[in-house]
Amino acid sequence: MMKDEYKVFEDKMKKTLDSVAADFGAVRAGRANAAVLDRIMVNYYGTPTPIQQIASIGSPDPRSLVITPWDASAVKAIEKAIQESDLGINPANDGKCLRLLFPQLTEERRKELTKLIAKYAEGGKVAIRNIRRDAMDRFKKMEKGGEMTEDDLKIAEKDIQKLTDDMIKKVDELYTVKEKELLEV
């Protein structure tokens, strides 16, 4: 029974970890990476649509992306969405496709991006700790309700704390990898 309870909280923590990884993927590190376009929504016939659903994205070289819409009429909408995003890159439009040229990152921009990923990492850690708190509250209620003994409560608290520590360690590992990627380019 306790394993089912742990599983719920473990799944929530894994989703938080996935969210942090997605946030890190959206931060461009000076290289062309299609993940930076994941959060950009295009107004396609009145419906917000991810770029990946209306165009193919290729990377002909390490510093550029080529976005080729399947419907040529979507080129302007995609261009507008990219310009309005926080990506900071102006697409070159040749009528059939868009080219995104990623400039070399300046030292100042690297520091800004490092602070941004640190903020994402800290947000992920806070979310994981909140899940731990919710789990502890749930187990304490179960103990008060007679569904679990005091010894089981101590074991559950220890297990949830270990899970929390493991997940926070994974967030730190993701942060270290992304920080290294930002600083080495």
CATH number, domain containing residue 62 = 3.30.1360.40
For residue 31, the model assigns a pLDDT of 67
- Residues 18, 49 within the same domain: no
pLDDT beneath 50, residues of the chain: 1
Domain boundary among 76, 101, 126: 101
pLDDT number for residue 30: 63
How many domains does the structure of the chain reveal?
A: 2
Q: Both 47 and 113 in a single domain?
A: no
Residues 6+ apart with CB under 8 A from 36: 25, 26, 27, 28, 87
Query: What is the pLDDT, as a whole number, of residue 28?
Result: 67
**Structural domain boundaries enclosing 88:** 34-101
Provide the 3-class DSSP secondary structure of residue 153: helix
Question: Domain end: 75, 101, 127, which one?
Answer: 101
Same domain, 42 and 95: yes
Answer yes or no: pTM beyond 0.95. no
CA gap 138, 176 in Å, rounded? 33
* CB 153 within 8 Å of CB 1: no
**CA pair distance 74, 45, nearest whole angstrom:** 9
pLDDT of residue 135: 92
